[in-house]
Structure 1
Amino acid sequence: MAAPARAFVYQAYQAANQLARTKPLVRSQALQAIAQAIDSARDDILEANTLDLEACQDSEMPDLLRRWLKLTPERLDRTVEILERLSVRSDPIQQVMRASFQHEHSQAYSQLMPLGVIAFVYEALPELAAIATGLCLRVGNSILLKGGTEAVHTNQAIVSVMQEALESTELPTTSLILLPEDDPATSLAALVTQDQWIDLVIPYGRPELVQQVARLATSPVLRTSMGNCYLYWASGGELETVRWMILDSHASEPDAVNAIEKVLIDRDCNLSKLTVLMDSLRSKGFRLKGDEELVQEMPELELARHEDWSRPYLSRTVAFKLVPGIEAATDWINTHSSGHADSIVTDSYEDSRAFSRELNSAMVHVNASPRFSRSPRHSNEIALGMSNQKGYRRGRITLETLTTIKQVVLGLGQ
Structure 2
Amino acid sequence: MTTDFLGLTSDPIAAVQAAHRASIHLSTTRGVLRSQAVYAMAEALKQAQNDILEANTLDLEASREMAVPDLILEWLKLTPERLQTAVQLLKRLSELPDPIGRVMDAAYQIDHCQIYSQLMPLGVIAMIYEAFPELAAVAAGLCIKTGNSLVLKGSGEASHSNAAIAQALWSAIEKVGLPDGCLQAIASDHSTLVRDLIVQDQYLNLIIPYGRPSLVQQIVRQATAPVLKSAMGNCYLYWSPSGGLEAVRWMILDSHQSEPDPVNAIEKVLIHPSQNPSSLLMLWDSLREKGFELRGDAVLSAEFPDLRLAEEGEWRQAYLAKIIAFKLVASLEDAIAWINLNSSGHADCLVTESYQESRQFALGINSASTYINASPRFSRNPKRGDSIFLGMSNQKGHRRGPISLETLTTVKHIIQGTGQF
| Common fold by TM > 0.5 | yes
SS of aligned partner of 2:359: helix
Q: Are 1:340 and 2:346 matched, yes or no?
A: yes
Contact 1:229 1:341 (C-alpha < 8 Å) held by counterparts:
yes
Measure, in 2, the Cα distance between the counterparts of 1:62 and 1:3.
26
Measure, in 2, the Cα distance between the counterparts of 1:392 and 1:11.
25
Q: Are 1:71 and 2:107 matched, yes or no?
A: no
Q: Which residue in 2 is equivalent to 1:231?
A: 237
Query: What pairs up with 1:31-70 in 2 under 5 angstroms?
Result: 31-70=38-77
2:334 to 328, 339, 349: 328
Query: What pairs up with 1:125-164 in 2 under 5 angstroms?
Result: 125-164=132-171
Contact 1:85 1:380 (C-alpha < 8 Å) held by counterparts:
no
Query: What pairs up with 1:354-393 in 2 under 5 angstroms?
Result: 354-393=360-399
Measure, in 1, the Cα distance between the counterparts of 2:10 and 2:162.
23
Q: How far 1:3 sits from its partner (Å)?
A: 10
Query: What pairs up with 1:181-260 in 2 under 5 angstroms?
Result: 181-182=188-189, 187-260=193-266
Measure, in 2, the Cα distance between the counterparts of 1:380 and 1:408.
26
Measure, in 1, the Cα distance between the counterparts of 2:326 and 2:11.
50
SS of aligned partner of 1:381: coil
SS of aligned partner of 2:225: coil
The TM-score normalised by the length of structure 2 is 0.96
* Letter paired with 1:408: I
Post-superposition Cα deviations, 1:335-365, rounded to whole Å, max 9, x if no partner, equal 0000000000000001001000111010000
Cα distance change of structure 1 residues 104 and 6 upon mapping to structure 2, 3 Å threshold: same
Q: How far 1:380 sits from its partner (Å)?
A: 2.5
Q: How far 1:379 sits from its partner (Å)?
A: 2.6
Measure, in 2, the Cα distance between the counterparts of 1:304 and 1:44.
44
Contact 1:163 1:173 (C-alpha < 8 Å) held by counterparts:
no
The TM-score normalised by the length of structure 1 is 0.98
Measure, in 1, the Cα distance between the counterparts of 2:190 and 2:242.
57
Q: How far 1:58 sits from its partner (Å)?
A: 1.8
Q: How far 1:378 sits from its partner (Å)?
A: 2.0
Measure, in 2, the Cα distance between the counterparts of 1:56 and 1:182.
14
SS of aligned partner of 1:107: strand
Contact 2:11 2:186 (C-alpha < 8 Å) held by counterparts:
no
Measure, in 2, the Cα distance between the counterparts of 1:183 and 1:336.
33
* Letter paired with 2:43: Q
Measure, in 2, the Cα distance between the counterparts of 1:201 and 1:155.
18
Q: Where does the alignment leave 5 or more consecutive residues of structure 1 unmatched?
A: none
Contact 1:236 1:269 (C-alpha < 8 Å) held by counterparts:
no
* Letter paired with 1:332: W
Give % identity. Answer: 55
Query: What pairs up with 1:97-136 in 2 under 5 angstroms?
Result: 97-136=104-143
Q: How far 1:59 sits from its partner (Å)?
A: 1.6
Q: Where does the alignment leave 5 or more consecutive residues of structure 2 unmatched?
A: 1-8
Give the root-mean-square deviation of aligned CA atoms. 1.2
Q: Which residue in 2 is equivalent to 1:276?
A: 282
Q: How far 1:183 sits from its partner (Å)?
A: 5.6
SS of aligned partner of 2:414: strand
Q: Are 1:90 and 2:97 matched, yes or no?
A: yes
Q: Which residue in 1 is equivalent to 2:11?
A: 4
SS of aligned partner of 1:75: helix
Measure, in 2, the Cα distance between the counterparts of 1:402 and 1:371.
23
* Letter paired with 1:30: A
* Letter paired with 1:109: Y
Post-superposition Cα deviations, 1:40-92, rounded to whole Å, max 9, x if no partner, equal 11000000000000111122211110000000011001000010011010011
Measure, in 1, the Cα distance between the counterparts of 2:148 and 2:100.
11
Q: How far 1:266 sits from its partner (Å)?
A: 1.3
Measure, in 1, the Cα distance between the counterparts of 2:140 and 2:174.
15
SS of aligned partner of 1:92: coil
SS of aligned partner of 1:56: helix
Cα distance change of structure 1 residues 3 and 33 upon mapping to structure 2, 3 Å threshold: closer
Q: How far 1:173 sits from its partner (Å)?
A: 3.5
Contact 1:265 1:322 (C-alpha < 8 Å) held by counterparts:
yes
Post-superposition Cα deviations, 1:240-279, rounded to whole Å, max 9, x if no partner, equal 0000000000011210100000000012211210110000
Q: Which residue in 1 is equivalent to 2:4?
A: none
Measure, in 2, the Cα distance between the counterparts of 1:295 and 1:357.
32
* Letter paired with 2:16: V
